[in-house]
């Protein structure tokens, strides 16, 4: 084995252990102040110095393992044996690394039984720094190489590296935070572990009360959340189906306009619809004013509460259901419907006995998406909920509000997670193992059967007014930012925009004096960092899931699917818990926000990448491999050029979702790193609608511009037509 | 020795797709892996390519142990069933691909690729997109792409299955001609027994993950070792009969009342399974010559070049082909069957 890779990684790791500060620095690496204190200063010392000079003996075994890897590379031996030894040494190193990181924290040993076992510890340690992180990465790389040398993952070190990277990062930034939230839910304020506490917290009256049914009063937030989610899921699925049927199975003239609907929710911050509803139905809204003016009815707070949130969610998430269902409806094979008609079934019977049952998995999927979107929604409930509390807002108040009860937040987060996962499993049950896929590689020469008249009329009657109203709402939202005070003074003005986005020209140059600039640039910067990372990680994950076979593939796929189902609020809270103490201490930094963006949005990139990749015949990869193309070359020269649409999608999605997300990051922002959405939410909570609306509109315009830019840069796939015929049965 | 398999096993989970096979492929020969779908032949080919790694056993290519090496590191190239031409590259770029990845400079790679395209008769097609070519031309590009790397062994995975019948015959002759002209070592997978016989120096017949028999096309057709092979290599009628040895070289096979002398040095006296080739049965109008097998025609079909008959006899239902189409027999006719010695094969030892 002539490869120099293991040698290089061992050396790089050892260099990092000698020449970089082991622990995190308050001021960051770029100050350079650490260069002089690498040996002497306790804060700046490298790993080696920490061991020798500062008595942190527990780091020694980790570095010893790394040194052992180097030794293994230098001893000539057979490929398999070298791989086996590398694997053992690096795995031991990793295990020791994790063990010391978890066992020794800010106050020495992190658990009482460790103190009992080893006695008091003089040292303590803060968060992982550059040196430690590089050592860990080197150990991971060596582990991958060791596995590959032994013939795992097709004997390819790049594939092995990609798989371990994806698995480790999902473990670290999705599984670990969720595990932490689980632990937190059992702990009291002093960090003492009390199993009964979770029950106590979950059994609270405020969560499960049913007083809205019997006797006066309000129901618990759990019921509120569930009822809202079921209504929202049912409503969006029905509306989405109506739209999908119209778009694919009727001669409706405005199909392209309908398609525009599907873009809107992607570029819209989730609370914009809520804002627009306030403009129409709020106290100073159009409807109340009209009633007041025409009949003298006093304005009501009708929109604040269940009905308002539901309405906002229906408007906001119907396009998502439409997006899911349009593919499903198109996927129903016309030939099957034609077969049904030749078997004496009329259009209606065909629709109800063939088409609808074939759409069942898609309907279940749309329902699941609606359900999860609803329970994860934070923006609309906080804007419109009034005293109708749901879990996501309740968690927010537990963390941010006066209660400051992390344990309760964790318990509520767990409950929310349980709802999401419950829906996820119910959906898988409903869809079952049976395959409903009716798109085969073969061409389908049938023509889609037109919808029966009754169904067509019903769909049109529901969908058209709904679509018109959706566009109207967006229109109001746009106009709302251009008048002085909605409801009182409709004088056209650009005041809100200047307040938010003023740029003054002074002697010192331009001054970005608008109130929104700070959060705006932070958002753009962090989203721009996160988007390529999201796309890269998502597509690599998709590539290994679709194209590589390895032990644990199903588990990995399941893990990415699961993280899709985890509501943003839960992720946000979990990040706060997991990353505000060593070994990874990044709360309050920009890094935690970027990480949250990446791992929150990656699952969608994975799904999109997997869908796109399964359309590309696997034999293309194999052809490249037999033509001496190593895995990274295959990826660059063959897979990525064919995946351009998916890359565009993942980049756009990664960016846009990072800009529009609220629920997850609301816990992670600080004064220094304030984001656009959280800024807007605060304006709304303060009743400052004008600037909130102006800002939202600016965001929407920004995102449309970004989408066009990415589309332009990455471009279309150069491909006459797809030639790969379906791969026949394999002997 | 270009390829050597030593007790190679491939398992998916607990199921063994290939259950311990050993064989060798000599340099400069074309060896076919033949078998019904699901027999493990494609898995075997992919293990040679390095697209699948063996669960057990050793694989040697050109004398080097490549068992744990991936496809990229092996000196092989492959022509895929779907051709797997990169749809975003021109014909020339496709053929250049392997040369470029092997580290050749652009000029040399282009020169090599042009030569390769000329070898398969596609000079001047450089700038075409794969989607603009016919199926046969795409096939040739795929061959050229594999050829230019001058690999120790070239692999063909059912290369003709996407072509129509006429083109299939032409392409298989071209592949054979190319292989012999350039002295290539080729491993070829197909499920089509005729195709295998037409192109191969040697055939390895696989069934249920094992090697059933290997040998020259003639060996396999004339001396199938098992009933499976007799059925799979060409058509044959299974029948029960009895064997009596005449001398070292010859036996008498008895089917019902009719006897035929067959060259066979292995069979032992007693009951045996006998395979009768349809072309070995001569159908005469009853009563026919002495020792003929009497029967009744159950079904008769006219196929242009010959007749096909299904005939009920005391030795079971037999299927026969008959080149005499000018005087066809019809269902219900009484006939006498004369068996030619060359098409009667004892395939199984006596059930004693």
**Which of B35, B88, B149 lies at the smallest CB-CB distance from A627?**
B149
- Among A residues 607-626, those touching chain B with beta carbons less than 8 Å apart: 617, 619-620, 622-626
With both helix axes pointing from N to C terminus, report the angle between B91-101 and B106-119 in degrees, rounded to the nearest 10: 120
Domain membership flag for residue A355: no
Task: Count CB-CB contacts under 10 A for residue A345.
Answer: 16
List CB contacts (< 8 A) between A629 and chain B: 72, 97-98, 101
Task: Give the distance, in angstroms, between the CA of residue B54 and the centroid of all CA atoms in the same chain.
Answer: 23
Hey, are the CB atoms on B97 and A629 less than 8 Å from each other?
Answer: yes
The set of residues, in sequence order, having a beta carbon less than 8 Å from that of A225 and lying 6+ positions away, is A375, A390, A391, A392, A416, A419
Q: Is the pLDDT at A27 greater than 80, yes or no?
A: no
State mean pLDDT over B123-143: 90
Residue A707 to residue A262: CA distance in whole angstroms = 14
Hey, are the CB atoms on A629 and B132 less than 8 Å from each other?
Answer: no
**A504, β-bridge pairs:** A511
* pLDDT score of A529: 93
Most confident of A688-692, B148-152, B252-256: B148-152
List CB contacts (< 8 A) between A633 and chain B: 101
Domain membership flag for residue A116: yes
When pLDDT is cut at 50, 70 and 90, the band that residue B28 belongs to is very high
> Least CA distance to B79: which residue of chain A?
A623
Domain membership flag for residue A162: no
Q: How far is A533 from chain B (nearest CA, A)?
A: 26
Q: Is the pLDDT at B79 greater than 70, yes or no?
A: yes
A677 has a chain B CB within 8 A of its CB? no
Residues of chain A with pLDDT > 70: what percent?
Answer: 92
Half-sphere exposure of B281 (CA within 13 A, CB side): 29
* pLDDT score of A230: 94
Most confident of A547-561, B198-212, B213-227, B262-276: B198-212
Q: Is the pLDDT at A270 greater than 80, yes or no?
A: no
Boundary-marking domain end, from A93, A127, A150: A150
When pLDDT is cut at 50, 70 and 90, the band that residue A615 belongs to is confident
Q: What is the pLDDT of residues A49-87, one digit of tens each?
A: 888 888 888 888 899 999 999 888 888 888 788 888 999
Identify which has the larger pLDDT, A47 or A564. A47
A728 has a chain B CB within 8 A of its CB? yes
Q: Is the pLDDT at A717 greater than 60, yes or no?
A: no
Q: Is the pLDDT at A9 greater than 80, yes or no?
A: yes
Got the DSSP string for B2-71? -EEEEEEEEEETTEEEEEEEEEEE-TT-EEEEE-STTSSHHHHHHHHHTSS--SEEEEEETTEE-TT--G
Q: How far is B46 from chain A (nearest CA, A)?
A: 10
Q: How far is B110 from chain A (nearest CA, A)?
A: 15
* pLDDT score of A293: 80
Domain membership flag for residue A218: no
* pLDDT score of A348: 81
Q: Is the pLDDT at B74 greater than 80, yes or no?
A: yes
When pLDDT is cut at 50, 70 and 90, the band that residue A440 belongs to is very low
Most confident of A5-9, A606-610, B110-114, B262-266: B110-114
* pLDDT score of A448: 67
Domain membership flag for residue A532: yes
Q: Which residue of B37, B44, B86 is the best one to mutate when testing the A interface, meaning the one whose CB has the most A CBs within 10 A? A: B86
Hey, are the CB atoms on A626 and B77 less than 8 Å from each other?
Answer: yes
Burial of A67 per CB tally in 10 Å (0-12, 13-18, 19+): middle
Collapsing DSSP to helix, strand or coil, A492 comes out as: strand
Domain membership flag for residue A430: no
How many domains does one find in chain A? 2
**Which of B49, B50, B68 lies at the smallest CB-CB distance from A80?**
B68
Collapsing DSSP to helix, strand or coil, A270 comes out as: coil
Give the pair of three-digit tokens for residue A597: 């963006």
* pLDDT score of B109: 93
* pLDDT score of B25: 95
Q: Is the pLDDT at A2 greater than 50, yes or no?
A: no
Collapsing DSSP to helix, strand or coil, A701 comes out as: helix
Q: What is the pLDDT of residues A508-527, one digit of tens each?
A: 777 787 888 889 999 999 99
**B250, β-bridge pairs:** B263
**A219, β-bridge pairs:** A210
Boundary-marking domain end, from A150, A174, A196: A150
The set of residues, in sequence order, having a beta carbon less than 8 Å from that of A639 and lying 6+ positions away, is A543, A547, A613, A616, A620, A621
State mean pLDDT over A483-501: 82
* pLDDT score of A726: 36
Q: Can you give the residue range of the structural domain that contains A564? A: 492-714
Task: Count CB-CB contacts under 10 A for residue B159.
Answer: 24
Residue B21 to residue B9: CA distance in whole angstroms = 7
Q: How far is A618 from chain B (nearest CA, A)?
A: 8
Q: Which helix (H) or strand (E) holds B219?
A: helix B217-222
Tokens 């089917």, residue? B255
Most confident of A126-130, A385-389, A637-641, B141-145: B141-145
Residues of chain B with pLDDT > 90: what percent?
Answer: 50
Boundary-marking domain end, from A125, A150, A175: A150
pTM here is: 0.79
Residue A246 to residue A620: CA distance in whole angstroms = 38
A151 has a chain B CB within 8 A of its CB? yes
Domain membership flag for residue A381: no
**Which of A619, A641, A721 lies at the smallest CB-CB distance from B82?**
A619
Most confident of A393-402, A706-715, B338-347: B338-347
Q: Is the pLDDT at B178 greater than 90, yes or no?
A: yes
* pLDDT score of A1: 41
Task: Count CB-CB contacts under 10 A for residue A41.
Answer: 15
pLDDT mean across residues, chain A: 81
Domain membership flag for residue A299: no
**Which of A150, A719, A731 lies at the smallest CB-CB distance from B38?**
A731
- Among A residues 67-126, those touching chain B with beta carbons less than 8 Å apart: 79-80
Q: Which helix (H) or strand (E) holds B244?
A: strand B237-245
**Which of B68, B87, B146 lies at the smallest CB-CB distance from A723?**
B87
Residue A202 to residue A293: CA distance in whole angstroms = 48
Q: How far is A551 from chain B (nearest CA, A)?
A: 10
Hey, are the CB atoms on B87 and A719 less than 8 Å from each other?
Answer: yes
Q: How far is A23 from chain B (nearest CA, A)?
A: 40
Half-sphere exposure of A426 (CA within 13 A, CB side): 12
Residue B68 to residue B66: CA distance in whole angstroms = 6
Give the phi and the psi of residue A707 in degrees, each rounded to 5: -60, -45
* pLDDT score of A138: 93
CATH number, domain containing residue A659: 1.10.3720.10
When pLDDT is cut at 50, 70 and 90, the band that residue A141 belongs to is very high
């Amino acid at each position: 084995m002539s490869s120099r890779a293991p040698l290089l990684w061992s050396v790089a790791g050892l260099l990092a252990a000698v020449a970089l500060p082991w622990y995190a620095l308050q001021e960051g690496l770029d100050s350079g102040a650490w260069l002089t204190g690498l040996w002497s200063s306790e804060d700046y010392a490298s790993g080696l110095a920490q061991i020798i000079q500062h008595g942190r003996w527990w780091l020694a075994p980790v570095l010893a393992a790394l040194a052992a890897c180097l030794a293994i590379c230098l001893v000539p031996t057979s490929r398999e044996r070298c791989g086996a030894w590398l694997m053992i040494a690096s795995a031991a190193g990793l295990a020791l690394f994790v063990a010391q990181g978890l066992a020794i924290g800010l106050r020495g040993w992190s658990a009482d039984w460790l103190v009992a076992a080893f006695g008091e510890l003089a040292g303590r340690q803060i968060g992982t720094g550059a040196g430690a992180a590089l050592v860990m990465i080197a150990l991971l790389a060596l582990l991958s190489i060791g596995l590959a040398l032994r013939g795992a993952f097709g004997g390819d070190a790049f594939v092995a590296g990609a798989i371990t990277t994806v698995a480790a990062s999902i473990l670290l930034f999705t599984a670990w935070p969720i595990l932490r939230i689980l632990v937190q839910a059992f702990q009291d304020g002093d960090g003492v572990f009390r199993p009964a506490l979770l029950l106590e917290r979950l059994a609270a009256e405020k969560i499960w009360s049913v007083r809205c049914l019997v006797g006066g009063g309000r129901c618990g937030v759990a019921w509120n959340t569930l009822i809202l989610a079921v209504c929202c899921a049912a409503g969006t699925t029905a509306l989405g189906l109506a739209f999908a049927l119209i778009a694919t199975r009727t001669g409706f003239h405005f199909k392209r306009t309908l398609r525009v609907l599907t873009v809107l929710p992607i570029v819209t911050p989730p609370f914009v619809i809520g804002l627009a509803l306030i403009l129409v139905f709020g106290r100073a809204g159009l409807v109340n004013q009209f009633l007041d003016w025409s009949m003298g009815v006093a304005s009501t707070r009708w929109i604040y509460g269940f009905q308002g949130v539901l309405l906002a969610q229906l408007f906001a998430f119907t396009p998502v259901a439409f997006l899911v269902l349009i593919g499903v409806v198109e996927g129903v094979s016309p030939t099957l419907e034609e077969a049904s008609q030749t078997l004496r079934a009329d259009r209606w019977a065909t629709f109800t006995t063939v088409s609808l049952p074939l759409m069942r998995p898609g309907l279940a999927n749309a329902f699941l998406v609606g359900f999860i979107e609803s329970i994860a929604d934070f923006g609309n409930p906080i804007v419109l909920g009034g005293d109708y509390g749901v879990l996501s807002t309740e968690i927010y108040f537990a963390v941010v509000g006066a209660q400051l009860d992390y344990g309760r937040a964790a318990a509520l987060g767990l409950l929310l997670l349980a709802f999401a996962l419950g829906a996820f499993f119910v959906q898988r049950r409903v869809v079952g193992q049976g395959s409903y896929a009716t798109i085969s590689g073969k061409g389908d020469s049938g023509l889609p059967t037109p919808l029966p008249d009754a169904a067509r009329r019903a769909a049109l009657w529901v969908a058209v007014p709904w679509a018109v109203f959706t566009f109207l709402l967006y229109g109001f939202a746009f106009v709302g930012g251009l008048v002085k005070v909605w409801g009182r003074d409709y004088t056209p003005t650009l005041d809100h925009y200047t307040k938010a986005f003023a740029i003054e020209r002074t002697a010192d140059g331009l001054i970005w004096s608008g109130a929104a600039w700070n959060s705006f640039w932070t958002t753009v910067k962090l989203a721009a960092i996160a988007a390529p990372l999201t796309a890269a990680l998502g597509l690599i994950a998709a590539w290994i899931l679709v194209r590589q076979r390895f032990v644990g593939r199903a588990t990995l796929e399941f893990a990415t699917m699961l993280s899709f189902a985890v509501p943003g609020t839960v992720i946000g809270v979990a990040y706060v818990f997991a990353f505000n103490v060593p070994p990874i201490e990044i709360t309050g930094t920009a890094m935690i926000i970027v990480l949250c963006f990446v791992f929150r949005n990656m699952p969608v990139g994975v799904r999109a990448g997997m869908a796109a990749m399964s359309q590309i015949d696997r034999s293309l990869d194999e052809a490249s491999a037999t033509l001496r193309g190593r895995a990274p070359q295959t990826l660059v020269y063959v897979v990525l050029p064919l995946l351009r649409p998916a890359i565009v999608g993942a980049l756009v999605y990664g960016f846009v979702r990072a800009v529009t997300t609220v629920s997850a990051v609301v816990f992670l922002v600080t004064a220094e790193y304030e984001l656009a959405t959280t800024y807007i939410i605060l304006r709304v909570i303060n009743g400052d609608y004008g600037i909130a609306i102006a800002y939202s509109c600016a965001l929407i315009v920004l995102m449309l511009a970004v989408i066009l830019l990415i589309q332009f840069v990455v471009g279309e796939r150069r491909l006459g037509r797809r030639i790969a015929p379906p791969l026949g049965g394999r002997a | 020795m270009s390829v050597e398999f030593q007790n190679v096993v491939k398992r998916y989970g607990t199921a063994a797709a290939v259950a311990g096979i050993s064989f060798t492929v000599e340099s400069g020969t074309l060896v076919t892996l033949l078998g019904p779908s699901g027999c493990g032949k494609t898995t075997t080919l992919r293990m040679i390519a390095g697209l699948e790694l063996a669960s057990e056993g050793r694989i040697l290519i050109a004398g080097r142990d490549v068992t744990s090496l991936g496809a990229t590191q092996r000196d092989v190239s492959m022509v895929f069933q779907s051709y797997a031409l990169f749809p975003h590259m021109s014909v020339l770029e496709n053929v250049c691909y392997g040369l470029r990845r092997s580290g050749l400079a652009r000029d040399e790679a282009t020169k090599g690729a042009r030569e390769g395209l000329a070898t398969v008769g596609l000079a001047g097609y450089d700038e075409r997109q794969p989607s603009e070519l016919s199926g046969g031309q795409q096939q040739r590009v795929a061959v050229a792409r594999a050829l230019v790397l001058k690999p120790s062994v070239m692999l063909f995975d059912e290369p003709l299955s996407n072509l129509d019948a006429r083109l299939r015959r032409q392409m298989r002759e071209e592949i054979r001609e190319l292989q012999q002209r350039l002295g290539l070592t080729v491993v070829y997978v197909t499920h089509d027994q005729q195709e295998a016989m037409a192109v191969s120096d040697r055939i390895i017949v696989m069934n249920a993950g094992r090697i059933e028999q290997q040998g020259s096309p003639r060996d396999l057709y004339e001396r199938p070792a098992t009933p499976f092979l007799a059925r799979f290599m060409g058509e044959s009628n299974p029948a029960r009969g009895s064997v009596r040895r005449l001398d070292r070289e010859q036996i008498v096979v008895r089917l019902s009342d009719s006897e035929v002398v067959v060259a066979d040095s292995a069979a032992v006296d007693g009951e045996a399974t006998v395979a009768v080739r349809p072309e070995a049965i001569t159908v005469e109008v009853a009563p026919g010559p002495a020792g003929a097998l009497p029967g009744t025609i159950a079904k008769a079909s006219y196929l242009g070049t010959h007749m096909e008959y299904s005939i009920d006899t005391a030795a079971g239902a037999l299927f026969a082909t008959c080149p005499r189409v000018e005087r066809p027999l019809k269902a219900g006719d009484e006939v006498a069957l004369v068996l030619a010695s060359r098409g009667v094969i004892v395939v199984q030892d006596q059930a004693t």
